[in-house]
Structure 1
Amino acid sequence: MYIADETWPELGDYFSDESLALVPLGSTEQHGPHLPLATDHLIAEAFAREAAERTGYLCTPTINVGVSPHHRQFNGTMWVDAPQFRDYVESFTRNLTYHGIDRVIYVNAHGGNIEHLREVGRRLRDDEELYAIEWMWNDSIPELVDDLFAQNGPHGGPKETAMIQHLHPHLVRDDQLAAARDGGVPDVEAAETIKYGSRTFYDAADNTENGVLGDQTDATAEKGARMFEEATDQLCQLCEWLADQRFENLMPKPHV
């Protein structure tokens, strides 16, 4: 169920019976010469909408701009600063509690959002108001990703390329796949910006001239479809697990 497609009386029926919502989040940032800036939020929305369709749980509108200042050197990248992002997501989520939601899954497709979503979840849980957890699609199927790609990226690599080939093939610049591979680096280690155990880089541009990593020519729509199906199954199982938990068991343990 997508919240924006429903009327308020129809949503009253949902809130009287269910207390779980899916919140998709991504970014609007560079993904190399071959993928659109919308890559992350398109992926997040696709997973959340599909899981909501299969399970009947509620999906909210997508948060399209995330914490992406590390991509700022590339044309068009948009971002919000981390404190403002956390405050916005917290306010957005607290809005859901007003309607009776007490558990949320942040369906996330941007690595730069992860630590901030975890912090928001902690704030809400510490207030014993709501239980919110972050879910990242590729983290739910790590073995499959490793099996499908010899060099998966991470950023703008073949796993994201394959996903967009599956979801929105018209947005992939297929004639730029080889250029993406040749103008980037295979992985962070190849960029030689890890020195004696220290990450000496702050921005994507410190590692790769065209903003991406991995071998994009290894991507296919068929691989994207397989990842989408298996990760969606994981998300649906997570929804059912979370919905079955007693709320008090999700809250912080008492002081010893």
Structure 2
Amino acid sequence: MHLSTSTWPEADAVETDLAVLPVGSTEQHGPHAPLGTDALTAEAVADAGVEAYHGEVVVAPTVPVGVAEEHRQFAGTLWVSEDTFRDYVRETVASLAHHGWDRVVVVNGHGGNVAPLREVCGRITRHDDAYAVPLTWFDAVDLDRDWTGDPDAPPVDIDAIRMGHGGPVETALVRAVSPDLIREERLDDAAAGAADGWGEWVGGANLAYDSAEFSENGTVGDPRDGSEALGEWLRERAAEKLAALLDEVAARDVSRPERR
């Protein structure tokens, strides 16, 4: 059940303690992919995972702005501080828990949200009246294991799609869920100005803080490798991971350790 399209009596009638909160970002994804890519993909994975799950789940509205100052040089990028983001997620989870939906999986589509989400979900679980755990969809899909073990996986160079931003993985999923949003005529330019990897690494340290320092147009990886077939495969695998996680969260003893 999606809260944004439901009435309050319909929400009141739901008999579940499970909720999903998609979170993303509004930031540049190269000249070919929309600023809302991370929110769009997080919501798509959340919907597919809930559909694959065997029980009822409440789906909260997607949080569209995240921790994304690293893309500030590119027009249209929006961001909030980590403190603001953590507070927003924590208070949203608290409001879900107020209505009885106190087991929450936060489905994330943006790399900059990973660290603050892990911290705030731990704080929620330790100190609030809820249990929360984050799932970042592109980390949940194990390309080596999931792709190698699937005879029906689309043909792809795994090494070419491992790391990217507006690259093959994100481009593929957007093609699968909203193909009209990919500017096909700009793909060659996106690839020409793309970086081969994220950051400038020396001795295990990333010297670059902003994507403009190492990518001419904000793209990392060749988006031309991101086919619709790959996107559909990624969505299915991510949905399976989310459905399995919902199973575990539903069955988990979430009482505080000191109370057990």
TM-score, reference length from structure 1? 0.91
Instruction: Tell me the matched-pair count.
Output: 247
**Within 5 Å, which residues of 2 pair with 1:197-212?**
197-212=204-219
One-letter identity of the residue aligned with 1:151: A
2:159 aligned partner: 150
1:33 aligned partner: 31
Q: Which runs of 5+ in 2 are unaligned?
A: 149-155
One-letter identity of the residue aligned with 1:136: T
1:132 aligned partner: 132
From 171, 179, 184, the counterpart of 2:194: 184
2:249 aligned partner: 242
- 1:52-90 Cα distance to aligned partner (Å, 9 max, x none): 334331100000000000000001101111111111111
After TM superposition, give the deviation of residue 196 of structure 1 in Å: 2.4
Distance 1:244 1:99 in 2: 19
Distance 1:230 1:114 in 2: 20
One-letter identity of the residue aligned with 1:71: H
RMSD: 1.8
1:194 aligned partner: 201
Distance 2:40 2:128 in 1: 32
Tell me if the contact between 1:163 and 1:228 (Cα under 8 Å) persists in the aligned partners. Answer: yes
SS of residue in 1 equivalent to 2:175: helix
Tell me if the contact between 2:108 and 2:136 (Cα under 8 Å) persists in the aligned partners. Answer: yes
- 1:66-118 Cα distance to aligned partner (Å, 9 max, x none): 00000000011011111111111111111111111221000100010111111
Distance 2:50 2:2 in 1: 7
Is the deviation greater in 23-32 or in 202-211?
202-211
TM-score, reference length from structure 2? 0.90
Tell me if the contact between 1:117 and 1:134 (Cα under 8 Å) persists in the aligned partners. Answer: yes
Tell me if the contact between 2:141 and 2:238 (Cα under 8 Å) persists in the aligned partners. Answer: yes
SS of residue in 1 equivalent to 2:159: coil
1:68 aligned partner: 68
After TM superposition, give the deviation of residue 128 of structure 1 in Å: 4.7
One-letter identity of the residue aligned with 1:150: D
After TM superposition, give the deviation of residue 247 of structure 1 in Å: 2.5
Q: Which runs of 5+ in 1 are unaligned?
A: none
**Within 5 Å, which residues of 2 pair with 1:83-94?**
83-94=83-94
Tell me if the contact between 1:41 and 1:64 (Cα under 8 Å) persists in the aligned partners. Answer: yes
Tell me if the contact between 2:50 and 2:239 (Cα under 8 Å) persists in the aligned partners. Answer: no
Distance 1:135 1:82 in 2: 18
Change (3 A) 1:238 1:19: same
- 1:164-194 Cα distance to aligned partner (Å, 9 max, x none): 1111110101121121111011113xx6x21
Q: Are positions 1:20 and 2:27 aligned together? A: no
SS of residue in 1 equivalent to 2:26: coil
Structure 1 stretches of at least 4 aligned residues deviating more than 3 Å after TM superposition: 144-150
2:153 aligned partner: none
Tell me if the contact between 1:35 and 1:161 (Cα under 8 Å) persists in the aligned partners. Answer: yes
